[in-house]
Structure 1
């Protein structure tokens, strides 16, 4: 991290001392801003305090990017955007994106008929998701429908958003990641079995050749 600018200010309403500043990442060179309240015994040099403080509130926050074996890139991008919205304190947008991910997941598996409620049930009927994952997907749908249809008087809480994103991950895990990893594990197991059998056959052939060779 390279500190670009930092200074101490006083918050007008609370008269609290605030350290704020900007810095660039030494790896990606992108800029971020951060602040912290009430620097007790801090360094008089705000840049030094900013550089070594462990209590800074960073913006944007570290954002989880969704990726995994088998997840189509457009769906992974939408899921990552859901996490990005949550990190940037946009809970309604996060829930809407999670709903979008569920519907896009259904469509990617050829489930295109009817509204999302029917698509989710069809995924379960086809064995793409289990019964409990179906219920999780419906929770995402219900929360997302509130946002989509303007029922926004009660904003989703931080816990609501965390649960919705966790349920979204379950859908992705079950539909995309799980089957691919199972296939990969099976392939490795069968490959290892074949290699063992080939090694045994080669060893047996060598022993037979040795036995047939006259002294």
Structure 2
């Protein structure tokens, strides 16, 4: 059994082998095989791939090495968790998944503001009409929508999605969440502290 920091939950944990490919050699030695191991942290239990020693079950190397998410403390939990998952997908090279989740974040943001009718393009236009997002943010939201549509419908063999594509789409998603949720919450906190100081005069 091997112990190291889990790339998913970030806890120092032991790992148990749940699958081992005994059909062929892989890795640095003749006794190493491709395998999958599960994190024994009960709040995680996620699986990683790696090179596993055939007899000892020791994990010699593993992937992903790092799963990086992002926190959105002022965003509703169901939207924040989806945005975080988009960043986790990006960190492990799941570029199409990251873009699809960014599109879902835009739609969830519209629904969170009571805009539920029509396709996503109509929801985005309505968010701008109601002042939820600016015209610049409307353009950003449409670009996320276009990218999400490409992922869902394009011939992926002919139109590959690059890391740069996904990074730019997620940067637009982050900007929308900042404008819609995080900046207003920050302003409210600053105002509250100012009013509390004045009240103490």
TM-score of the superposition, structure 2-length normalised? 0.69
- Measure how far apart 1:173 and its partner are: 0.9
The number of residues matched between the two structures is 173
CA RMSD for the aligned pairs?
A: 3.5
Structure 1 segments of 4+ aligned residues over 3 angstroms from their partners: 1-5, 28-35
Partners of 1:151 and 1:103 lie apart in 2 by 24
Q: Is 1:9 paired with 2:28? A: yes
Match of 2:114 in 1: 110
**Does structure 2 retain, via aligned residues, the 8 Å contact 1:60–1:87?**
no
Match of 2:192 in 1: 187
Partners of 1:145 and 1:32 lie apart in 2 by 30
**Does structure 2 retain, via aligned residues, the 8 Å contact 1:33–1:60?**
no
**Does structure 2 retain, via aligned residues, the 8 Å contact 1:2–1:25?**
no
SS in structure 1 at match of 2:28: strand
Q: Is 1:64 paired with 2:83? A: no
Partners of 1:25 and 1:159 lie apart in 2 by 34
Partners of 2:195 and 2:161 lie apart in 1 by 47
Unaligned runs of 5+ in 1: 11-21, 36-46, 51-55, 197-215
1:157 to 156, 162, 166: 162
TM-score of the superposition, structure 1-length normalised? 0.65
Partners of 2:171 and 2:50 lie apart in 1 by 27
Output one character per residue of 1:90-109: Cα deviation in whole Å (capped at 9) or x when no partner.
11111111000000001100
Partners of 2:105 and 2:124 lie apart in 1 by 12
Task: Tell which structure's C-alpha radius of gyration is larger.
Answer: 1
1:132 to 126, 129, 136: 136
Bigger mean CA offset, 182-191 vs 100-109: 182-191
Match of 2:104 in 1: 100
Output one character per residue of 1:4-30: Cα deviation in whole Å (capped at 9) or x when no partner.
79xx717xxxxxxxxxxx9x899x997
- Measure how far apart 1:67 and its partner are: 2.3
Distance 1:155 1:189, change over 3 A: same
